[in-house]
Chain A
């Protein structure tokens, strides 16, 4: 056989066999800020129910575009409540299934100790080069951070120092790598298993920003998938709530 004749065979070998999701599998779109807890919840869910969860992490805006174009997701675990509601209006999500699985907390954080005081006075002093926030236009935690600065009357003063992350994960990256001295991040990113990450932080009072309600919803594609319903039920269980709370979320 000439090498050229092998090409079609090679192509077939590379392309096939495509694994399709089984009935007892649920594919889940997970907002990136919920990555930590979900990595613990998924194995526990699989152990408790025998179903399998296929997880995809990303930004909610991207998931919205994908779901609108028939992405194979059964469940959306969102970073906000607006996107699930929007999908319901589009006829792509089941209204009755939606619930708030966690309430997000905003925190001002520095990877260095002693930079952020426990009252957030550092924002008024302004003795830093960069402050990272998630893009307020696209991310709820970013919008919350913008609201905090506005309420404190510091939005104009801080504007030139702002660096925008595509999502809250990137705002965290900028701060964790020391490229920005400060960052508004999700508490879930610096609080794991009841422990704060090294550095200094200010837990922003909830009165300074609108509540960050993170909703989960069943998508039309997962309507008759028992694994999808089981996952949503499991998210409400005490075992799941314990993990969620240990990552700095409330209910």
Chain B
């Protein structure tokens, strides 16, 4: 067998994490991106900047402050405890939450660009045809922004697979719960098990390449006006 059981466990966990994060961000990121494009509020600038912050901050710094915030004495930790969920660090859903924050710009920014490219005109036309704003969003904006959705999902998924600093900080490296593939590879390297590290890295590399290849091959070629 090429990979050990713990390697396979780490890969499956990574796929589960990246999948959950992409789905959640699709639901959370779309309205944010739409609002950032359509809103005229003065605080849209500050919100846009906050969304982009995870691009700038070092992952281990984000991880450390998430650990403080989500810990038993932090504001998020107090909230989750009051709700009866308990503290989130060292749990799968804690990782999901941290990754949602960390990958937010990778979902929002491509969507923002795609929505901006649509412009006012198609939505105005939809309005004259008596489409409600919600109706126009789903029947006009979403189909027109389809390539943007695809890019956003690919980037978010890929970014979460490659995540390391944040999960290392708040995950606690628990097998099957928070030990994702990137951490497993790091462990192999730290333990000087270079052959195991090479094997798992090669599998990850091929897997990632195939996923991206499939998605890009399936991606529709840009038409005029898009």
A residues adjacent to B (C-beta < 8 A) = 59, 61-62, 64-65, 86, 129-130, 132, 135, 137-138, 162-166, 170, 173-174, 177-180
A164–B173 CA distance with the chains assembled, in angstroms: 5
Contact of B190 among A138, A177, A179 (CB under 8 A): A138
> With A130-B90, A173-B64 in contact, is A164–B172 under 8 Å at CB?
yes
Contact of A61 among B67, B73, B173, B191 (CB under 8 A): B191
> With A164-B172, A173-B64, A178-B71 in contact, is A137–B187 under 8 Å at CB?
yes
Tell me if B190 and A163 are in contact (CB < 8 A): no
B73 nearest in chain A by CB position: A178
> With A163-B90, A164-B172 in contact, is A135–B71 under 8 Å at CB?
no
Contact of B71 among A62, A86, A132, A179 (CB under 8 A): A179
Nearest CB of chain A from residue B165's CB, rounded to whole Å: 10
- Interchain residue pairs with CB less than 8 A apart (30): A61-B189, A61-B192, A62-B189, A62-B190, A65-B189, A65-B192, A130-B172, A132-B172, A135-B190, A137-B191, A138-B191, A162-B174, A163-B172, A163-B174, A164-B172, A164-B173, A164-B174, A165-B172, A165-B173, A166-B173, A166-B186, A170-B168, A170-B169, A174-B67, A174-B172, A177-B67, A177-B68, A178-B71, A180-B90, A180-B172
Number of interface residues of B (CB under 8 A): 22
Nearest CB of chain A from residue B214's CB, rounded to whole Å: 33
A164: chain B residues within 8 A (beta carbon): 172-174
A147–B25 CA distance with the chains assembled, in angstroms: 43
Q: Flag whether B87 is at the interface (Cβ < 8 A).
A: yes
Nearest CB of chain A from residue B5's CB, rounded to whole Å: 15
Q: Flag whether B72 is at the interface (Cβ < 8 A).
A: yes
Q: Flag whether B110 is at the interface (Cβ < 8 A).
A: no
A62: chain B residues within 8 A (beta carbon): 189-190
Nearest CB of chain B from residue A5's CB, rounded to whole Å: 29
Tell me if A59 and B89 are in contact (CB < 8 A): no
Nearest CB of chain A from residue B170's CB, rounded to whole Å: 8
Interface centre among B64, B71, B90, B189 (most CB of A within 10 A): B90
A250–B73 CA distance with the chains assembled, in angstroms: 35
Tell me if B173 and A163 are in contact (CB < 8 A): yes
A211–B174 CA distance with the chains assembled, in angstroms: 27
